[in-house]
Amino acid sequence: MDTELTKQWSSDLKPQPGLGIFGLLRESFKTLKRNRKLMLPLLLHVFLFFSLLEFAQIYLLEPVGKDLASQLAEHPKLFEDFGNNMHRTDYRGALNDIREILLVKLFIFIFSSIISLVFFVATVSSSYEAYTAKAQDLTEMIMKIKKSWKKPIGISFYMILFTMGFIFGCFFYIGMVSILAGNSWASYMFYGVVFLSIVVLWIYGSALWMMSLVVSVLEDAGGLDAIFKARELMKGENVKASLLMVLYGVASSVVYWVTHAIISQTPEKWSEMVISVVLTTGLICALKLFMFVVFTIFYHEQKEVCDEKAAKSLYLPIAGDEV
């Protein structure tokens, strides 16, 4: 009897198979539809903010770019002479143009990062509540943003450090092989292996980064704790998470390709700019929204599996003949 009870208990606590890729995509569409009252206004506002930033960047940098191009045409060796003659009077205009471009780019980057951060936290928290059959109003979403906005910044800092270390290590090994092996066939094979490894690890790192951000929003964890937690949740499903990032990359590439194809058929410059900014920004924002929802549901499914495994290990009854 104890043995039958043990088998029944083990069967009840056996983790259910998670959703496949198409299952995640299907549930994400359902969640967006269920949560459309919050998601549609959020998407519209994010689209407007990003579009305004793009138009502002074009408006501010177009005359500066033309001025810099004219100075480059007049002084072909301008950048080569910067190191020794950057204080020359005829180079001051170019130097000011470069400073202005860098300053505008910096402000655009800061504002874009702020918008993306709010967009991400709001989407993840609201989608998780909608997927778990809970309701979240606008006030609760704002409170969640105030509570969680710092943790994704810390995670991004650590992931950028890891990425820089990875890139440095790759260049170091490539340099060592180029010195030791020269142009032999073994060196070319090594370059191919390194390139393939970089692509695979880059995709996995992107998936881990995204999962870590989701963990930081939905759990009381940040920094390295959230990264380690995300890696634990992804264990056994690394291929699925990586394929999700590949799908996002392919979809983004298709968006840019379609936009370029449409622009190539547009003769007027302003029409070309409007189509490029509006179409590209709108579709990329929609793709990001969908990707955030997909990884939120993926997190929920993986966490349920981990919780079921933990419950099985903690509460599995002991058979009578083992006492």
pLDDT of residue 31: 87
The more confident residue out of 170 and 186 is 170
Name the burial class of residue 287, with classes exposed (0-12), middle (13-18) and buried (19+) by CB atoms within 10 angstroms of its CB. Answer: middle
Cα–Cα distances (Å) from 289 to 39, 43, 50, 134, 293, in that order, read 8, 8, 14, 19, 6
pLDDT of residue 59: 83
Question: How many other CB atoms are there within 10 angstroms of residue 317's CB atom?
Answer: 12
**pLDDT tens digit sequence for 220-234:** 877 888 889 888 888
The more confident residue out of 28 and 75 is 28
Cα–Cα distances (Å) from 198 to 22, 202, 265, in that order, read 27, 6, 37
Q: Answer whether 0.85 is exceeded by the pTM.
A: no
* Residue range 23-51: mean pLDDT, rounded: 88
pLDDT of residue 66: 77
* Residue range 298-312: mean pLDDT, rounded: 79
Tokens representing residue 239 in the block: 């291929």
pLDDT > 70? residue 320: no
Band (23; pLDDT cuts 50, 70, 90): confident
**pLDDT tens digit sequence for 75-95:** 666 656 555 555 555 566 677
Name the burial class of residue 264, with classes exposed (0-12), middle (13-18) and buried (19+) by CB atoms within 10 angstroms of its CB. Answer: exposed
Amino acid at 120: F
pLDDT > 90? residue 96: no
What are the counts of helices (DSSP H) followed by strands (DSSP E) for the chain? Answer: 11, 0
pLDDT of residue 184: 65
SS3 86: coil
Measured over the CA atoms of residue 217, residue 32, residue 304 and residue 229, the dihedral's sign is: negative
Q: Are 208 and 230 in contact (CB under 8 A)?
A: yes
Band (9; pLDDT cuts 50, 70, 90): very low
pLDDT of residue 2: 46
